[in-house]
Amino acid sequence: VQLVESGGGLVQPGGSLRLSCAASQFTFSRFWMNWVRQAPGKGLEWVANIDPDGSENYYVDSVKGRFTISRDNAENSLYLQMNNVRVEDTAVYFCARRVGSGSSQSTSYYYYGLDVWGQGTTVTVSS
Amino acid sequence: DVVMTQSPLSLSVSPGEPASISCRSSQSLRHSNGYTYLDWYLQKPGQSPQLLIYLGSNRASGVPDRFSGSGSGTDFTLKISRVEAEDVGVYYCMQALQTGKYSFGQGTKLEIK
C-alpha cells in the first residue's frame, strides 16, 4: 500500500501549481482521501478531503476558493490544484488515506483514522 | 471550528519510563452516533506522520501495546507505558468530528534523556 506525491516546486505568489498523489496496492476508489500540509518547522494542518466518488469535498477556510481537490479513480490518482498561492502556502504537502466510509452528517460515519501517508511534496511560494 | 490544545509541548523521558500527553478540544468530540473522533499520530524525525490511535482508544494495526489512548468528551490522553528510543518524534492529536473540518493539536515533541 503506497501513496506517492509529486508536483511540488517553487512558485511565485499569485501563481498556480498542481499536486498529484499516486495510489497503489489498494482499491483507491473505495477511500476518502485527504491533503495535509506542514509549513517549515511547524505542525500539521489539514487542508482538504474528498469522498470516494469525487462528489463531496471540503476545505480548510484559508484555502477555500483558491485550492481544488479532485481525483481520477481510473488512474488511482488524487490531485490538488493550487491557484493564487500565497507565501503562507509554503509547506510540505502530504496525501493521506482515510479508513472508513460515510461522512459526519449521518450516523453511519465510519472512521478509523488516516492510516496511509505519502512521503510529501514540497511547495515553496516566493518571489 | 474545533481547537485542539496539547500539553506539554515537549517532554524528555528516560528509556523505560512512562510518558503521558494531554489533548483538549474546544468542544466535545462525541458524535451523535456515540463514537468519539480523536486520533493520535506520531511523526518521527524526517518521516511522514503515522497513525497510532483512532476513535480515542483503538490502536492502529502494528502499533505496540505500550501505546494507549483514553479520554472522552473534550479531554484525552496518550500514554506510553515504557518509552523506547524509537518513540522519539512529535505526537499530534487530531479531531475528525466533522468530515470537512479536521484539525490537529500543536504537537508534543518527545525526546529521550
CA B41 vs. chain centroid, Å, equals 6
pLDDT in tens, A3-57: 999 999 999 999 999 999 999 999 999 999 999 999 999 999 999 999 999 999 9
Q: pLDDT band for A104, please (50, 70, 90 cuts).
A: confident
Query: pLDDT grade, residue B51 (50/70/90)?
Result: very high
Judge: B60–A115 Cβ closer than 8 Å, yes or no: yes
Q: With bands split at pLDDT 50, 70 and 90, how would you rate the model's confidence at A107?
A: confident
Instruction: Answer yes or no: do B104 and A103 touch at CB < 8 A.
Output: no
Please provide the DSSP assignment of A22-74 as one string: EEESS-GGGSEEEEEEE-TT--EEEEEEE-TTSS-EEE-GGGTTTEEEEEETT
pLDDT reported for residue A50: 97
Q: What is the pLDDT of residue A106?
A: 82
Instruction: Tell me how close the Cα of B113 comes to any Cα of chain A, in angstroms.
Output: 22
Residue B91: its H or E element: strand B89-95
Q: Which pLDDT score is estimated for A15?
A: 98
Q: Which of A56, A109, A113 sits opposite B60 (nearest CB)?
A: A113
Chain B residues with CB under 8 Å of A67 CB are none
Q: Which residues of B touch A105 (CB under 8 A)?
A: 99
Comparing alpha-carbon positions, the chain B residue that sits nearest to A119 is B48
**How far is the C-alpha of A55 from the C-alpha of B2, rounded, in Å?**
25
Q: How far apart (Å, rounded) are the C-alpha atoms in residues B31 and A23?
A: 30
CA pair distance A78, A65, nearest whole angstrom: 18
Chain A positions touching B50 (Cβ under 8 A) are 117
Query: Strand B89-95 and strand B108-112: pairing?
Result: antiparallel
pLDDT tens for each residue of B55-100: 999 999 999 999 999 999 999 999 999 999 999 999 999 999 998 8
Give how far B14 is from chain A: nearest CA, Å: 25
Find the DSSP H helices in A62-116. none
Q: What is the DSSP letter of A100?
A: S
pLDDT at residue B65, as a whole number: 96
Q: What single string gives the DSSP state of each residue in B16-70?
A: TS-EEEEEEESS--B-TTS-B-EEEEEE-TTS-EEEEEETTTEEPTT--TTEEEE
pLDDT at A105 over 90: no
Per-residue pLDDT at B49 exceeds 90: yes
Interface of A to B at Cβ within 8 Å reads 32, 34, 36, 43-46, 49, 56-61, 94, 96, 99, 103-105, 107-109, 111-115, 117-120
In the predicted model, what is the mean pLDDT of residues B36-51? Answer: 98
CA nearest to A95, candidates A124, A123, A118: A118
Q: What's the average model confidence in pLDDT over A60-69?
A: 98
From the CA of A62, how many Å to the nearest CA of chain B?
12
* CA separation for the pair A21, A69 (Å, rounded): 11
**Inter-chain contact A49–B99, Cβ cutoff 8 Å?**
yes
Q: Which amino acid is at A34?
A: N
